[in-house]
Amino acid sequence: MLTGLNDTVRLANGVEMPRLGLGTYKSAEGGDVEGSVLAALELGYRSIDTASLYGNEAGIGQAIAASGVARDEIFLTSKVWNDEQGYDNTLAAFSRSLERLGTSYLDLYLVHWPRAQAHDTWRAIERLYAEGAVRAIGVCNHLEHHLEALLRVADVAPMVNQYEMHPWLQQPSLREYCETHGIVVEAWAPLMKGRVAEEPVLVEIAARHGKSPAQVAIRWLLQRGVVTIPKSVHRERIAENAGVFDFGLTDAEMSAIDAVDRGYRFGPEPDRGGER
Ligand SMILES: NC(=O)c1ccc[n+]([C@@H]2O[C@H](COP(=O)([O-])OP(=O)(O)OC[C@H]3O[C@@H](n4cnc5c(N)ncnc54)[C@H](OP(=O)(O)O)[C@@H]3O)[C@@H](O)[C@H]2O)c1
């Protein structure tokens, strides 16, 4: 049952993760990110996604502090960037993220892209988890073969795989692989980078429900059991993106959206990707 922003999914280790959170890629520090995090927390969001790459962790930390919402009510995610991977580098990168965010722990720490040093990076992340510095651990942008390689060497399996997923890029076999292995799927670019209105099926279904294409795209993910983190720096859109709990998509509508998959990536292909 989907009821609201307090809905959570239980990760493999029992930690509860909000199903809908705020994305912050390209939300600039010094106004945009602080304003959007404050607005989101006021509107009832309890999950914020960032990364050291985004250069906005300090602003997010300040907004959380200013919000008056207790730290332990917020699910805070950050990520280790490509040039921070490796055992010692990852430990140092994690400390820097904590310091910038002004927090003593993270709720979720993710490997941003699969890299050659994946095993050493993961050992560092397992250590942070064992020490209680992070409540849950996971990866981003991992295809089946990356996950298989990681699962062969991991003492603690990743609890989350955050990857690009939206109506135009669905990768059903990857989702099935994750679900079979107890890895929660978290979709990035749920709004197709702001281009949801270019998909006529979303537009048509949205009109039928008196909703926006963005709301239909988010609802489709939630009904598939996928966690997601739409990004906006505008309060009215942050509210709109959370207005997805007062309607439901029928099986036929879900299938109609499944059928628009065209394997279209806005971001890099994980085997080649992650360099910007
Ligand atoms: N792990 C990874 O490698 C990875 C990669 C990319 C992203 N992410 C995470 O996932 C989050 C979401 O992905 P994303 O930011 O790339 O893409 P997205 O959420 O699909 O789209 C964001 C874009 O949609 C616009 N938008 C927001 N609400 C809208 C609405 N209701 N109607 C129409 N347009 C709307 C935003 O503009 P305004 O801000 O101007 O409203 C922005 O241009 C990121 O912010 C980040 O936290 C992770």
CATH 3.40.220.10 correct for 8-258: no
- Enumerate residues 6+ apart whose C-beta is below 8 A from 235: 35, 36, 39, 43
Burial profile 97-126: b = 16 or more Cβ within 10 angstroms, e = fewer: bbebbebebbbbbbbbbbbebbebbbbbbe
Nearest atom in ligand 1 to the alpha carbon of residue 25 is: 45
Ligand 1 center–CA 193 separation, angstroms:
5
What is the value of pTM for the model shown? 0.98
Ligand 1 center–CA 132 separation, angstroms:
30
CB 125 within 8 A of CB 97: no
Q: How far is CA 80 from CA 25, 94, 138, 198, 238, in A?
A: 14, 7, 11, 33, 26
| Spans of all domains in the chain | 8-258
Respond yes or no: is residue 163 known to be catalytic: no
Ordered per-residue pLDDT tens for the chain, 276 residues: 899 999 999 999 999 999 999 999 999 999 899 999 999 999 999 999 999 999 999 999 999 999 999 999 999 999 999 999 999 999 999 999 999 999 999 999 999 999 999 999 999 999 999 999 999 999 999 999 999 999 999 999 999 999 999 999 999 999 999 999 999 999 999 999 999 999 999 999 999 999 999 999 999 999 999 999 999 999 999 999 999 999 999 999 999 999 999 999 999 999 876 554
- Enumerate residues 6+ apart whose C-beta is below 8 A from 157: 12, 150, 151, 181, 182, 183
